[in-house]
Amino acid sequence: MNNFSLYVARDSGLHRLHPLTKAIYALCVLAAGLVLPGLWTGYLLVVLGVLPLAVWGRVFAAHVQAVWRVTWPFALSILLIQGLLWGHGDNLLAVGPLAIKKEGVEFALASIGRILVVMDAFILFSLSTRPDMLMISLKQAGFPSSLTYIFVTTLQIIPRFQHKATMVLDAQRSRGLETQGNLLVRSRALIPLVIPLVLGSLVDVEERAIAIEARAFNSSHKETSVIEIPDTVRQKRIRWALVLLTSGAIVASVLWRLLS
């Protein structure tokens, strides 16, 4: 894993798959998790559709760690807010004026399952796919260069932001800024940390815009690449099958809701 990507280099079958195959699979799992009904649908998709691939790709430990670090704040806040502030329903636990509602907990669990599907699919794809290979494969598939650049850059937002935040924190500590201690000390350190981070992000955006112009992304001429990513007929068929299967499941789910 490097500073600007979640990618972890491994010699595995998952890593050797075409980037578009992995991208289509991740999008299909994500769409199914968001649309298909059921309290445990998201968890089943993670257990049956994502975690086995993480084991196959030999990134299980890194995958679980990354998903946990990103997901647990959202999961905890959703569980507390929905459980305590649900308007009506049966009480699971009551302590004085506070009561955790059964319906609120069920809604929170379903929401957490959907968040897990999104994070698991996105992180597994990022761990097993090099951003440069993804960009080349998208260009070879006929996607516009600007759209390809935006998509790949989006995958790099989290690691780049974390790297920049770490650099700012280390720089301010070297200047004697106190960043550890009670709440008051941490509050005083917030502004000296946030301002350089925001300004650095704005400079980074400008540099990326200059890079787009330098690479002639707006040119009407067809771009070529030294690297050619091989694609097989089998993987193309798998991608189409995934799209058709997911679309059919979503349509069936919508019709079931309308008719029930």
Write the pLDDT tens digit of every residue in 30-49.
Answer: 998 888 888 888 899 999 99
Q: How confident is the model at residue 220 (pLDDT cuts 50, 70, 90)?
A: low
- The reported pTM is 0.75
* Rounded Cα gap, residues 97 and 102, in angstroms: 16
Predicted local distance difference test score (pLDDT) of residue 206: 67
Average pLDDT over residues 154-166: 68
Write the pLDDT tens digit of every residue in 229-251.
Answer: 888 899 999 999 999 999 998 88
Q: How confident is the model at residue 124 (pLDDT cuts 50, 70, 90)?
A: very high
**Sequence ranges of the domains in the chain:** 1-129+230-260, 157-226
Using alpha carbons only, give the angle 171, 173, 179 rounded to the nearest 5 degrees.
130
Predicted local distance difference test score (pLDDT) of residue 29: 92
* 42 or 91: which leads in pLDDT: 42
* 147 or 221: which leads in pLDDT: 147
